[in-house]
Amino acid sequence: MRDKFHLKIISGTANRKLAEEVAGHLKVHLTPIEIKRFSDGEIYCRILESVRGCDIYIIQPTSPDASQHLMELLIMVDALKRSSPEKITAVIPYYGYCRQDKKTKAREPITAKLVANMIQVAGVDRVIMFDLHVAQVQGFFDIPTDNLDMLPQFAECILDKNLKNMVVVSPDAGGAARARTFAKVINAPIAIIDKRRPEPNVVHVENVIGDVHGKSAIIVDDIIDTAGSITEAAKILVKHGAKEVYALATHGVLSGPAIERIAKSHLKEAIVTNTIEISKEKYIPKLKILSVGPLLAEDIKRTHEGLPMGVVYEEMYKKLVKKTRK
């Protein structure tokens, strides 16, 4: 690695635990920063040590409260930009507003694009994200982006359970590509839930396309928000004869009634990651949390050194292939 003191990791308030974990993997300290909010809600930020000529990585998911955390990120970038760093990379494990990626009705905004514009105008040189709701959001940026995923880690987690007769399930037609990729990794068939979404956070599940009878069903998605989609999917899968149901999702937003719904659902386990900090009161036996820290640290290290990340995924998938053949 280039001089590790040239590399600096900065954390906002959205997920400091993840930032501390990443810094630990990289064997660097978190750059001290002062962030406070005035009584009127305005955000103040000051970097407490020199960053001149440094390669900066700001870890700040724009998770709920998305607008507050986004504004905090922009203010940190501005403070850094005025402090003469070599490069600023925004590490946004969860990209808030990512589901507003297109117009579906007249006079609607494309907020995911607006957020990309704001991040670039603030002065960011590169963005690292995880499992975007739709991959084309990368095209909203005119700067380099990384869209990492946790499919190998999810696959290893499932394979370690030694489940028999598995089927990978996409919770909707839009997620079929993600499910197909995962199914290929664990060598399982796929099924698709036919659902309708009449309004945000309201789901009507209507049918299952594919055979799930007597099988261990693995639902693969990118986000669990209110858990309505996932729990309704689990219900209909059991109704169609699934032996047990697991759910995998990179981002555990877990808003509103999500935890209560998961606890009372047909799900045997819901597995998410720590792209969003999950408060301890949301920990329940059915919820398992994997860490993106090691993978994120590796990507930051390789970005800092100018090395490709693809070879890391190639090695992970090779190990999984060997595991499925045992």
Q: Which of 5, 15, 95 is nearest to 293 (CA)?
A: 15
What is the C-alpha to C-alpha distance for residues 254 and 273, in angstroms, rounded to an integer? 12
Task: Summarize the confidence of residues 106-122 as an average pLDDT.
Answer: 97
d(CA 282, CA 307): 38
Which residues lie below 8 Å from residue 232, measured CB to CB, with a gap of 6+?
195, 203, 205
Predicted confidence (pLDDT) at residue 240 exceeds the cutoff of 60: yes
Given a cut of 70, is residue 221 above it in pLDDT?
yes
Catalytic residue positions?
195
Residue 69 and residue 59: Cα distance in Å, rounded?
11
pTM exceeding the 0.85 threshold for the entire prediction: yes
pLDDT value at residue 107: 96
**Res 169 pLDDT > 80:** yes
> How much is the pLDDT for 321?
87
pLDDT per residue as tens digits for the range 64-84: 999 999 999 999 999 999 999
Helices (H), 99-227: 111-122, 151-159, 176-186
Q: Which fold has domain 151-290?
A: Rossmann fold (3.40.50)
Angle between helices 310-325 and 151-159 (to 10 degrees): 20
Give per-residue pLDDT as tens, 14-51.
Answer: 999 999 999 999 999 999 999 999 999 999 999 999 99
Structure tokens at 13: 């308030």
pLDDT tens-digit profile of 262-276?
999 999 999 999 999
Residue 164 is classified by DSSP as S
Domain ranges of the chain: 7-149+293-310, 151-290
Specify the pLDDT at position 212.
97
Q: What does the block give as tokens for 85? A: 């760093």
CA distance 172 to 153: 22
Same fold? 7-149+293-310, 151-290: yes
Domain 7-149+293-310 fold: Rossmann fold (3.40.50)
Helices and strands per DSSP (H, E), number in the chain: 9, 14
Token pair listed for 111 = 């907020």
